[in-house]
Amino acid sequence: MNTTRFIPLAFCLALIFSACSATAQNNSTPTPLPSPTLIPTPSSTPIPLAARVNGEGILLADYQTELQRLQAAQTELGLSLSAEEQRQKVLDYLIEEALLAQAAEKNGLTADEAAVNAEFERLAAAQGGAAALDAWIVRNGYTRESFRSALQRSLSAAAQRDAIAESVPTTAEQVHARQIMLLDLGKATLVRNNLLTGSDFLTQALYYDPVTGGDLSWFPRGYLTVPEIEEAAFALEPGQFSEVIQTRLGYHILYIEDRDPQRPLSLDARRVLQAKALQEWLKAQRANSTIEILIP
């Protein structure tokens, strides 16, 4: 059986909340109810902060609210995270949203009042009316004004995520590969020796995987969840097969059926590459930003 799965990298921030979540989606997807990651205005009495991102504060109250949401979702979905894992997930979410919103402002992507009004009305309709949304606002520790500010931040961050996603090309170099996968090194070595002496790869592949014949289909760099397979595949030319490759799944022999320098990406492949682009962008932004964690 073919077990080299094409599992997308997570394009979303790794958080699950009961009422709202940050997701990397296209513009057609409704924006989730936002997190109250508001920046405090100057005051004679310092407002408690959970973190600062490039000098902008994330309120301690907002952190605590998000932590409660994560804990509630965890119970509902049967998840189990340690206190430290919960803390880190919430901090990562709030910090990354702040980085996205800051970039949106620099790039002229900040949501304007009309966009905020339209989204406010859409959310009200989705909640069952203005009264239901007002109840959600109060229940989650907002005022109408603070909710609208948080909504603008959420929309701005989503616009920046969309811009990152759209920067990923629609075509890429791809290979069409097959594999023979075995759990025993000795058997894999024997199969490869048979191939060296003229045995047909497809015949062997169908013997060990009668359903798909080991077909991995077309894929670009950055798509597979097993990097050793991907690296070997792009080192081969059509008609060539690989050495025995050991991975966490077993022992593999690859065969390249075809190669295309600019093949249109499948919807799933582009989503995987978009998720990877987002994570790489966030990693670079964090490395070049001043981030202060102010809670123990």
Domain membership of residue 242 (yes or no) is yes
Q: Judge whether 66 lies within some domain.
A: yes
Q: Is the dihedral of CA 76, 77, 81, 86 positive or negative?
A: negative
Q: What angle do CA 190, 196, 200 make, to 5 degrees?
A: 90
Is 280 in the same domain as 163? yes
Domain shared by 281 and 257, yes or no: no
Q: Which helix (H) or strand (E) holds 286?
A: helix 267-287
Alpha carbon distances (Å) from 237 to 129, 184, 203, 226, 232: 60, 26, 20, 19, 10
Mean pLDDT of the chain: 86
Q: What is the pLDDT of residue 73?
A: 86
Helix H or strand E segment including 57 = strand 56-59
Q: What is the pLDDT of residues 219-261, one digit of tens each?
A: 999 999 999 999 999 999 999 999 999 999 999 999 999 999 9
Residue 8 has pLDDT above 80, yes or no: no
Q: Is residue 8 part of a domain?
A: no
Q: Domain for residue 159, yes or no?
A: yes
* CATH number reported for the structural domain that contains residue 72 in this entry: 1.10.4030.10
Residue 23 has pLDDT above 80, yes or no: no
Q: What is the pTM of this model?
A: 0.79
The answer to whether 214 and 203 are in contact (CB under 8 A) is no
pLDDT greater at residue 93 or residue 47: 93
Q: Which domain holds residue 253?
A: 171-264
Alpha carbons 79 and 19: distance in angstroms, whole number: 16
* DSSP output for 208-273: H-TTTTTEEEEEETT--S-HHHHHHHHT--TT-B---EEETTEEEEEEEEEEEEEEEPPHHHHHHH
Considering the domain architecture, whether residues 239 and 154 belong to the same structural domain is answered as no
Identify whether residues 162 and 279 lie together within a single domain: yes
Alpha helices per DSSP H over 78-219 = 83-106, 113-127, 130-139, 144-166, 185-196, 201-208
265 or 145, which is more confident: 265
Number of structural domains in the chain: 2
- Residue 290 to residue 104: CA distance in whole angstroms: 18
Question: CATH code at 211?
Answer: 3.10.50.40
Q: Give the sign of the dihedral formed by CA 95, CA 96, CA 100, CA 103.
A: positive
